[in-house]
Structure 1
Amino acid sequence: MDDATAAPRVELTPAAAALLRRLHALHGPLMFHQSGGCCDGSAPMCYPDGEFRTGDSDVLLESLAVPGVAEPVSFWMSKAQYEVWRHTRLIVDVVPGRGSGFSLEAPEGVRFLIRSRVIGA
């Protein structure tokens, strides 16, 4: 198995895990999708699980275990973006500011952000 498939593809910072616990308490099971579009489309978007329709153009990168949340949080990415980022580990973080109005954290005054690290570096 190579580094790209052996290592977790997606990780959460403690701040992201804490926000996911709050969002889960409000909305139930959750999911992420990252499309790779422009503007906020390149940020990870958080939805109630199943609210965003995934299909053949998406890849499930990870089912994230969040301490204090019963169900894993799935992290999906468009295949096109995955081809660009497939040699990286994605780190979901939270920063102040408003992201997309469609993502569940928007009313919280914060937004999810991806930090990345090249696998094997």
Structure 2
Amino acid sequence: MDAIAIVKRCFQAYVDKDRAAIEAVIADDFHFTSPLDNCIDRKTYFERCWPNSETAAGFEYKNLVQDGDRVFVTYEGKGASGKRFRNTEILTVRGDRIIDVEVYFGWTIPHEAPAGGFVDK
């Protein structure tokens, strides 16, 4: 299976709330990093991140590019409440498993800043 297909299976598992499906693509030596998490292991990932599947309603891929064993994906996510957001992730795949994820949080949709403007915080 190609790396992009594996990454898509991971995201679909969130939408389907299918723990077995995501466990099938997450390696035993998996690590996850985000602005809130620093290289957490598989066990901690499932404790901290998997509960977010309860509110995941969908992902629309904006960019999905493979470079060797890494897949770069920018998506617009939709929560069960209708809240939308944009993130970028870099997922590293070894064989048929994801071994590493880096998440870069984006923004809410619609954007808080007006077109051509910014949010002053």
Q: TM-score with structure 2 length normalisation?
A: 0.31
Q: Report the TM-score, using the length of structure 1 for normalisation.
A: 0.31
- Whichever of the two has the greater Rg, that structure is 2
Q: Which has the higher contact order (CA 8 A, sep 6+)?
A: 1
